[in-house]
Amino acid sequence: MTALERLAEADAVTRLRERDASLFALDIDQRIPIGHRLGWTDLASKAPARLPLLDGLAEALRAEGATDVILLGMGGSSLAPYVMSAVIGSASGFPRLHVLDTTSPVGVSETLDELDPQTTFVLISSKSGTTIEPLSLYAVVRAWLEASGMSHPEAGRRCIVITDPGSALEKLRQRDVMRLALAAPVTVGGRYSALSMFGLAPAALIGIHLPSLIARAQAMEHACAYPLEVNPGALLGAWIADAWEAGQDKLTIVCSDALRPLGLWIEQLVAESLGKDGTGVVPVIEYAPSSPPGYADDRAVVVLRFKDDAPLAAWSHDVAASHPVFELTATDVFDIGAEFVRWEYAIALAGFLLGVNPFDELAVTEAKEATATILDGDAEQVPHAIADFDGTWVTYAGALDPPLSMPTSRTGALRDAVRSLGPEDHLAVLAYIADDESRVVPLRDACSVIARATGRAAGLQLGPRYLHSTGQLHKAGPDNGVFVLVTARDRTDVKVPGRPFTLGQLHRAQAEGDLVTLARHGRRIVRLDLPDSDPATLAALAGDLTIAASAGI
């Protein structure tokens, strides 16, 4: 029976739209929390009611001279606005958006150094209101505002909260006299919240024409109620499930250049929703499609392109001769509103077809707890380095045992990781570095080289962002990942007012917490702890990765 036939037999689309939690679980104790996470199915229909408030707020900030808005958030609270900003951009005369979804003291310092506190406003975005990253970043940014000479009330007026009603963050807003709290629906989880206040408010503040975006989303929401054979969400979800059933579990996402940032949002939605109980689909963002692509038989390819992108259309046609391809076309950048809806429906239905609950993320919580333990001073569980190559400390952990004959260089250690790749594996470089092109692009390019040389999917993921995204898949999905964890002992650090740790300590604890958790799940890991994260240092590491790939598998 095909996946589409199974959806028809279960009446899955109707039950999803009616928020029937029994679609995903039979046990009543499991159905209750699932039922509390299904409020996203009609967000597009409800979105226009939010516009008068958001339009008024956007005009008020413009009148007060806003040139920049900093968004402090993680995962579902930050990726949708990041995508809208990167794909559509700020309108003329509106502020720019800077998404701080990192605890890297280097990245935070570089961002704040570029901005004028007198014309900068802040969004603190967290569904639960307890997430450690945005709360720590808020303490840092609030101190930065007040250090510029603002009074406490004046700095508070620069800060706007997006959170669930009654959350700890909403209470903090009252205590710190912040300007406003924008309430998000309590029945919508973070990664399904693109069309809630979490996505709409930042977009409104930078002047994105929300009526255009919402109109596309509403049309797709309506289409996702159509009969299965013409239902965009059901067709995509069934195709993903059929490919997974056939062993093609590396979902490769290839976009027209201007749409490529959407891949990060899709990556989180797929990985965090489907990576459960030893099952999962591995999302792979393709930054450098080549002909021939050199993909192994485990690839299924989604192409999202503009209708007039002839080169990508030709590439898609060529790849379809050897791999399953699902092609989506967009008229303009506002079609990402439709894609938010299509993919939310598709991945929820794929969760049903794969037999997993797409609305929990228990492994993310596990990594958070490991981080907290390390911050509290219990670092004994962190695996120790066993080699030092010119200041790079190398650690083998989990199921990747140190070789009998120790490598004599950093390249040798990386070669051990590459050689451990099996026929169904993928490689992930988990880098705790600032998100800027000078640091990221060389490592990303090295991953492309590894993929071409080995035929295995390989990608770069930035920490701690990935902890709220693919981190769920890494630990709770299938054991088909090899992980190169990259940390750095940068001297730059930032105090976190009111906290017993610095940003640097938090950043490192998050990496080591994930190392501990991955090892606990028996994953294959090699950690490279660099002396610093300067662009030259990371470029040298990228060079070593490409040399390691030449060993093949």
| Domain containing residue 382: CATH number | 3.40.50.10490
| Residue 119 belongs to a domain | yes
Find out whether 302 and 328 touch, Cβ atoms under 8 Å: yes
195 in Cβ contact with 337 (< 8 Å): yes
Residues 241 and 263 reside in one and the same domain: yes
Question: Which of 331, 353, 375 is the last residue in one of the domains?
Answer: 353
Which residues form the domain of 256? 224-353
pLDDT along the chain (553 residues), means of 10: 97 98 92 95 97 98 98 95 98 98 98 98 95 97 97 97 96 95 94 98 98 98 97 98 98 98 98 97 96 94 98 97 97 98 98 97 90 89 93 96 89 94 96 97 96 95 96 97 98 97 98 97 98 98 94 58
Cis peptide before 464 (omega within 30 of 0): yes
Exposure letters 375-411 (e unless 16+ CB within 10 A, then b): beeeeeebeeeebebeebbbbbbbebebeeeebebbb
Residues 133 and 267 in one domain: no
Q: Is residue 6 part of a domain?
A: no
Strands (E), 80-237: 96-100, 120-125, 159-163, 180-183
232 contacts 223 by C-beta, under 8 angstroms: yes
In 3D space, the residue among 62, 56, 344 whose CA is nearest the CA of residue 182 turns out to be 56
Would you say residue 16 lies in a domain? no
Report yes or no on 259 lying in a domain: yes
Same domain, residue pair 385 and 349: no
Burial code of 300-339, b = ≥16 C-beta within 10 A, e = fewer? bbbbbbbeebeebbebbeebeeebbbbebebeebbbbbbb
> Can you read off the two tokens belonging to residue 312?
């990508």
User: By C-alpha distance, which of 83, 358, 333 is closest to 240?
Assistant: 358
Among the candidates 318, 334, 353, a domain finishes at 353
Structurally, how many domains does the chain consist of?
A: 3
The position carrying tokens 């994930």 is 514
**Same domain, yes or no: 63 and 155:** yes
Asked if residue 471 belongs to a domain, the reply is yes
Contact 167, 128 (CB under 8 A): yes
Specify if 48 maps to a domain. yes
Per the CB < 8 A criterion, the answer to whether 517 and 366 are in contact is yes
Same domain, yes or no, for 325 and 380?
A: no
Does 18 map to a domain? no
Residues 415 and 529 in one domain: yes
187 shares a domain with 56: yes
User: 107 with 252, same domain?
Assistant: no
Asked whether the whole model's pTM tops 0.75, one would answer yes
Distance CA 298, CA 316 (A): 17
336 and 395 assigned to the same domain: no
Q: Are residues 174 and 295 in the same domain?
A: no
Q: Are residues 290 and 342 in the same domain?
A: yes
Domain boundary (208, 234, 269) is at 208
In a domain, 21, yes or no: no
**Residue 45 CB: number of other CB atoms within 10 A?**
14
Beta strands (DSSP E) in 76-227 are 96-100, 120-125, 159-163, 180-183
Please state whether beta strands 159-163 and 250-255 pair in parallel, antiparallel, or not at all (unpaired): unpaired
275 & 372 share domain: no
User: What pLDDT is attached to residue 377?
Assistant: 87
Give the Å distances, CA to CA, from 116 to 113, 157, 496, 503, 528. Answer: 8, 16, 20, 21, 36
